[in-house]
Amino acid sequence: MSPNLLLVIVVGVLFAAGVTLLLERNLTRVILGITLLGNGVNLLILLGGAYGGPPIVGVTPEPQMADPLTQAMILTAIVITLGMTAFLLAMAYRSWFLTGHDDVQDDVEDRRIMARAERDQGLEDEDTPESENPAVEDPAAEDAAVEGAPR
Amino acid sequence: MTWLVPLPVIMPLLGAALTLLIRRRPNLQRTVSVLVLSATLGVAVALLALTAGGDPLVVTVGGWPAPLGIVLVADRLAALMLVVSAAVTLCVLVYSIGQGLADGDGSTPVAVYHPAYLILTAGVTNAFLAGDLFNLYVGFEILLAASYVLITIGATKSRIRDGTTYVVVSLLSSLIFLTAIGLIYAATGTLNLAQLAGRLDALPDSLQLGLQSMLLLAFGIKAAVFPLSAWLPDSYPTAIAPVTAVFAGLLTKVGVYAIIRTQTLLFPDGPAADIVLVAALLTMTVGILGAVAQSDIKRLLSFTLVSHIGYMLFGIGLASSAGLSGAIFYVVHHIIIQTTLFLAAGLIERRGGTTTLDRLGGLARLAPVLGVLFFLPALNLAGIPPFSGFLGKLGLLQAGVADGGALAWLLVAGSVVTSLLTLYAIGRVWNLAFWSSPRAGTSARTAARGRVLPRLMVGSTLALVLLGTGLTVVAGPLFDVTTRAATELLDREPYVRAVFAEESP
């Protein structure tokens, strides 16, 4: 038995697209990335089992049965991914509700270090006092992104 | 007596369902939670006693024989971890009940808290008992799902921000773990740990290394090993005190447990041992340097947590019986001590109004009991002689010296330096928060009026302090248990034989 080439390529594409989306700052895109990655992993598990007819005794002769264990594992994984995605969506909504956007923000320490760097720079040359935080962008664009619309 | 084995998983799950049903009756809910966790502790102790003979207890769930069905295995290591985790979760539960009673339950929605907490316990015990990789994955997911709820409880702005990091990183590690499971199944056709132990050995070295690195990557994120540890100090400190405490004590150790289990059972002579040792050295030093630079007690403790994971990896990487024994002893010690310190930090926050060192002062005079509650586990963490921290480190250092390799000696040196720096970091907290005179106008003084620490919170913290100190007294028998557990782990044969004994009666 050799794995189906088309499925292998699909797994690769899903992983690549998922990882790319995971690198975004926007939580909605991160969720989409995780969904794609999850589906990629599920297909990968499916590729690990044997191919064949429905694994029901009396319908398919035993040597030609598909591997039922991989399908059971995928079902479990799908249920888990569903729950996690629902939780992440709720978190993205809450983040949007509280801050007006759902970007993953810099943590406290990073912001403190950035502020210090900016202050030091401000002491050297007085004409650059602006503090540009990548987490705070145009709120209208963020709202559009929350609803899944392209920017 | 194998019917006892699934109980530590089933009881908290049923308890969670029950507490969800009676969410409108907080008192009943508290009683049920405490009873369930006490019973879990009882069963865990019984399991430890039953496995003392050296034979692991095996349950085939649903009566399906070993390679096909799901097996739950309680060997000496799993039973020991169960006892410690049950004791710690019980103490933290009492602490959080004390906090809830004192605050009038206004700030934390207790209705969700108890079910989520019990499910977290069920996930942890399931991960300890899992006899196949997929069940281990499910155990991780159960505890992670509950931890997502607990870390964002209340859903304030800062908790959502830090919770996002935690959830996304955890999901990523779960996906890596699942990918590894898919690949291992494709390569060997089984996920049963006992069966994998034989089949993985037959694979080519390069493939073994690939599978091993994927598992190490997934567990390394969960255990907060250095290059993968950045999420921990950012996400843990913002949660409520008991949640931070139980996460710090248990969740990373479940990752360490998974590393121990898979390294010894699946890849005993795996080529990645040196990688583990290098990661251990980096985790120790980078973690403790981070802790020295912190000015907030909770963040500082989070960094020491990362740093001391390095000690356990040190023992695992040595892959000798003495090293593993030291690592297991250190896990037991560290679960208790780190939880105690975070509970004490919660008490400091209550008493002083903050955990920022710049604004605390004179707590030793204002709250002497709190001083003792922080001081004893802090010295224990740093490894001052009579305490278990010292004994654990001594065991690891001896194992390192016995190994004799250049990398092992480097790690011995690193361990000593880390221990000294831990003492420095802890000493700084002590000097600034407790020893210095109360500063005029600081929040400690203003909060001093009428801020009495609830008795339940102090009592549960005291119980953990006593437990941590008591480890010194029972260190001899405990070391005996860990040494035998380590020998059995390296032997592999008792585990495999116990799982497949069910098949051919």
What is residue B192's three-state secondary structure?
A: strand
Task: Identify the pLDDT of residue B439.
Answer: 61
Q: What is the mean pLDDT of residues A4-26?
A: 91
> Which residue in the set A34, A76, A95 is minimally distant from B164, CB to CB?
A95
Residues of A in contact with B175 (CB under 8 A): 34, 37-38, 41
- What is the predicted pLDDT for the residue at B39? 93
Contacts of B441 (CB under 8 A, 6+ apart): none
For residue B417, pLDDT over 50 is answered with yes
Verdict on whether the full-model pTM lies above 0.95: no
Asked if A91 is an interface residue toward chain B (Cβ–Cβ < 8 A), one would say yes
Domain range annotation of chain A? 5-146
Alpha-carbon distances of B437 from B251, B296, B449, rounded to whole Å? 37, 19, 17
CB contact under 8 A, B157 and A99: yes
B160 touches A at CB < 8 Å? yes
Does any CB of chain A come closer than 8 Å to the CB of residue B278? no
* A8 close to B (CB below 8 A): no
| pLDDT number for residue B436 | 76
Residues B319-366: pLDDT tens digits?
Answer: 888 889 999 999 999 999 999 999 998 888 888 777 787 777 777 777
pLDDT band at B454 (very low <50, low <70, confident <90, very high): confident
String of DSSP letters for B397-411: HHHHHHH--HHHHHH
pLDDT of the residue at B163: 87
What is the rounded average pLDDT of the residues B116-132?
92
pLDDT of residue B6: 87
B87 has a pLDDT exceeding 60: yes
Neighbour tally for B402: CB within 10 Å = 13
- Widest CA span of chain A, in angstroms? 83
Residues 20-79 of A with CB under 8 A from B: 22, 27, 30, 34, 37-38, 41, 44-45, 47-49, 69-70, 73, 76-77
Number of structural domains chain B divides into: 1
If you average pLDDT over residues A125-132, what whole number do you get?
A: 50
Q: Where are the alpha helices (DSSP H) in B22-132?
A: 26-50, 76-103, 110-129
CB contact under 8 A, B160 and A22: no
> Which one of A24, A34, A46 would you mutate to disrupt binding with B, by most B Cβ within 10 Å of its Cβ?
A34
Tens-digit pLDDT profile for residues B236-258: 888 888 899 999 989 999 999 99
Q: Cβ of A122: how many Cβ atoms within 10 Å?
A: 14
Tell me B251's DSSP state.
I
What is the pLDDT confidence band of residue A148, given thresholds at 50, 70 and 90?
very low
Mean pLDDT on A1-19: 87
Contact B432, B357 (CB under 8 A): yes
Q: Considering chain B, what percentage of its residues have pLDDT values greater than 70?
A: 94
Residue B274, pLDDT score: 84
d(CA B396, CA B411): 10
Residue A17 pLDDT: 95
pLDDT of residue A143: 38
Residue A3: the pLDDT is 66
Give the residue-averaged pLDDT of B78-87: 92
Average pLDDT along chain B: 86
Percent of chain B at pLDDT exceeding 90: 32
Is the pLDDT at B93 greater than 60, yes or no?
A: yes
**Dihedral in degrees, nearest 10, Cα atoms B57, B58, B62, B66:** -170
B295 touches chain A (CB under 8 A): no
Tens digit of each residue's pLDDT (9 = 90 or more) over A56-105: 888 888 778 888 888 889 999 999 999 999 999 998 888 888 888 777 77
E strand or H helix that includes residue B72:
strand B71-74
Residue B501 is predicted with a pLDDT of 74
pLDDT of residue B319: 82
Please judge whether A47 and B148 are an interchain contact, meaning their C-beta atoms are less than 8 angstroms apart: no
The CA distance from A127 to the nearest CA of chain B, in Å, is: 31
User: What are B209's two structure tokens?
Assistant: 């290394």
Q: What is the pLDDT of residue B442?
A: 53
Q: Is the pLDDT of residue B96 over 80?
A: yes
The alpha carbon of residue B461 is apart from the nearest alpha carbon of chain A, in Å, by: 29
Least confident of A113-122, B254-263, B395-404: A113-122
Among chain A residues, the shortest Cα distance to B187 is held by A48
The pLDDT of residue A145 is above 80: no
Q: What's the pLDDT score for residue B110?
A: 62
Quick one: pLDDT at residue B62? 76
pLDDT tens per residue, range B353-398? 777 877 777 777 777 888 888 888 888 888 888 888 888 888 899 8
Output phi, psi for B499, to 5 deg. Answer: -70, -40
Å between B142 CA and nearest CA of chain A: 9
Task: State the DSSP code for A149.
Answer: -
What is the interface size between A and B, counted as CB pairs within 8 Å? 80
Would you state the pLDDT for residue A129?
Answer: 45
- Closest residue in A to B148 (Cα) is A87
**Strand, helix or coil at B143?**
helix
Q: Provide the residue type at A68 as one letter.
A: P
pLDDT digits (tens, 9 = 90+) for B178-223: 999 999 998 888 888 888 888 888 888 888 888 999 999 999 999 9
Per residue in B9-61, pLDDT tens?
999 999 999 988 887 787 888 888 899 999 999 999 999 888 887 788 888 88
Which of A123-132, B91-100, B138-147, B158-167 has the least mean pLDDT?
Answer: A123-132
Contacts of A19 (CB under 8 A, 6+ apart): A33, A37
Encode burial over B467-488: b for 16+ CB neighbours within 10 A, e otherwise.
bbbebbeebeebbebbbbbbbb
* Burial class for A138, CB neighbours closer than 10 Å (0-12, 13-18, 19+): exposed
Interface contact A95, partner B, CB < 8 A: yes
pLDDT at A131: 45
Residue B466 lies in a domain: yes
Is the model's pLDDT at B447 over the cut of 90?
no
Distance from CA of A86 to the nearest CA of B (A): 11
Residue A43: its H or E element? helix A27-48
CA distance B351 to A1: 67
Closest-approach residue (CA) in chain A for B67? A69
Least confident of A120-129, B137-146, B157-166: A120-129
Q: Are B354 and B443 in contact (CB under 8 A)?
A: yes
Test the B interface: residue of A32, A74, A105 with most B CBs within 10 Å: A105
Q: Which of A64-78, B84-98, B409-423, B490-504 has the lowest mean pLDDT?
A: B490-504
How far apart, in whole angstroms, are the C-alpha atoms of residue B292 and residue A40? 42
Q: According to the model, what pLDDT value does residue A146 have? A: 39
pLDDT at site B63: 75
Q: Which domain holds residue B342?
A: 272-473
CB contact under 8 A, A48 and B182: yes
pLDDT digits (tens, 9 = 90+) for B465-475: 988 888 888 88
Is A109's CB within 8 Å of B134's CB?
no
pLDDT value of residue A65:
82
Please judge whether B148 and A105 are an interchain contact, meaning their C-beta atoms are less than 8 angstroms apart. Answer: no
Q: For the residues B292-309, what does the mean pLDDT come to?
A: 90
